[in-house]
Chain A
């Protein structure tokens, strides 16, 4: 699986938007970009995924660069509950497992 690069940590103020970057310069044409997050003392939780076009759901938005070599997870209004480790994962098909890196630890300040 292609690798991703994420900042180790980020900080945000409550109710402000948060942009979590992910670089994946070696992405292949069939790689999906998945985001999961892990709240303290819980298992990971699916956030969003996309292939080429930007995606929106109730949790977040995913902005994918035109060349697909980077993407950004956007939380529109951070809450204290969004404090978690966010993982950006490339996956070339449903027949391969998720390969987690170290992710970005997001802290939200009240």
Chain B
């Protein structure tokens, strides 16, 4: 399968713990996006990278959230001191941006439950 992969698929943690999610984009895609989705809502943008540079961060991305894409390939999203409100599906998408717009390909998501 050459699509976007995310690990783990499910994560249950206790409030206050740190968690890290990984996203492996489609090979050769230069852009990588992170979104968060809660039940009944559409996905909400968190941040995105072009190669290894983080170009934009949403106001939703509090100081407890950090994302990296060290070599312009895979990316990690870390949440420190998790809160119950962080419970959501975390989606990753990648794209090949070469002009005016791009098509984003989404992974299956990581479902986080904070107890």
Contact = CB atoms under 8 A, between A and B. Distances in A.
Answer yes or no: are A and B bound together in one complex: yes
A97 B106 contact: no
Contacts of B106: 43-45
Is the interface on chain A under 10, 10 to 19, 20 to 34, or 35 or more residues?
20 to 34
Contact of A100 (B42, B48, B105): B42
Given A43-B91, A43-B108, A98 B103 contact: no
Given A43-B108, A100-B42, A102-B41, A94 B102 contact: yes
Interface stretch (B13-21, B67-75, B78-86, B92-100): B92-100
B62 interface: no
User: A-side binding surface: helix, strand, loop or mixed?
Assistant: loop
B44 A43 contact: no
Contacts of B51: none
20 contacts: A32-B100, A32-B101, A36-B104, A42-B108, A43-B93, A43-B106, A44-B91, A44-B93, A46-B103, A85-B42, A87-B42, A94-B97, A94-B101, A97-B33, A97-B45, A98-B33, A98-B35, A100-B35, A100-B42, A103-B42
Interface of A: 32, 34, 36, 42-46, 49, 85, 87, 91, 93-95, 97-103
